[in-house]
Amino acid sequence: MKRILLLHTGGTISMSTDQRTGAVKPSDEHPLHKYSHLFEENIEIVEEDIFQLPSPHVTLQHMLDIQKRLAEAIEEDRIDGAVITHGTDTLEETAYFLDLTLDAPFPIVLTGAMRPTDEIGSDGVSNLQNAIWTALAPGSSDKGVLVVMNEEIHTARYVTKTHTTNVATFRTPTFGPIGIVSKHEVRFFQKLVFDENYPIQNITKKVYLLKAYADMDSTLFEALASTEIDGLVIEALGAGNMPPATLPGIKRLLDKKVAIVITSRAFNGIAQDIYAYKGGGKHLKELGAIFAPGLTGIKARIKLQVLLEQNLTSDEINKIFQK
């Protein structure tokens, strides 16, 4: 009999609708508990409520708590797979944090819901069932941390939430999903070229995220330079370019040895140092900025946070981001 560790952390998948006001709010008891019998015919499910939080309340420390519980399961060597239910707003960040910080011998799958369990067309039970099937599938163990939503299987590294309410919100821009779940059958047709893991015990660094816009100046950068800051991710314009008025503030941060990572605010494609004009990608790279091809701003922030906790040099961080 296979054994699945099912960790609940909250989110819409654990919420219900107030019939009087229509507001969606946390339930007194996790509504998925009553469905656990649907998955117990051939497997044993070890079910735990780690915490019950809307995902905007989830912090890096909460992500570390989940990581430590999974690390315990790895040490115990009694689990064949792990499934984590999570709110969708920050699910991709928790998934990528776990992907970077754990080297698990069993599949780890995150899932959630866009509709509470008592709403017509609720997707929570179906997503949970598909996540459990994926965690049990023989081909899942070498794919990194996975996100299963709406019958699609995505990698934690590249998946992102693309719609505020649609059940098909989770997508992988540029690359697409790596598999599907269809009528109990789990099918993979892609895999990551490489994986990476960086052990982490504490969250100590301050890493921020800014999004570039037309006519942006140095105000926000100067304000950050006056705080305790270890790293900054910028969702730059196009392939990785910034308005020239931002350069004084960017230079001041770099002079303070703050690691600055450049991604693109564009939905598809990768950030690259292509343009040589003032504020262009080549200029930013010459100043000491690091490019993160293929990662969104929020994923690059998670990765920079994890790497800074390793006390790596800027050159070492740059080489890792180029993999």
- DSSP 3-state assignment of 318? helix
Query: How many beta carbons lie within 10 A of that of residue 226, not counting itself?
Result: 9
**CA–CA separation, 93 and 99 (whole Å):** 10
Cα separation of 190 and 307, whole Å? 27
Q: Are 30 and 106 in contact (CB under 8 A)?
A: no
Structure tokens at 118: 């008592």
89 touches 61 (CB < 8 A):
no
- The residue count of the chain comes to 323
Catalytic residue among 12, 88, 90, 296: 12
Gap between the Cα atoms of 92 and 273, Å rounded? 26
59 is catalytic: no
In Å, what is the CA distance from 23 to each residue of 19, 27, 113, 268, 322?
A: 8, 12, 16, 34, 45
For residues 247 and 286, the answer to whether their CB atoms sit within 8 Å is no
66 neighbors 9 (Cβ within 8 angstroms): yes
Q: Give the contacts of 264 (CB within 8 A, at least 6 positions apart).
A: 235, 236, 237, 238, 239, 240, 270, 271
Torsion over CA: 177, 307, 63, 222 (sign):
negative
* Residues classed as catalytic: 12
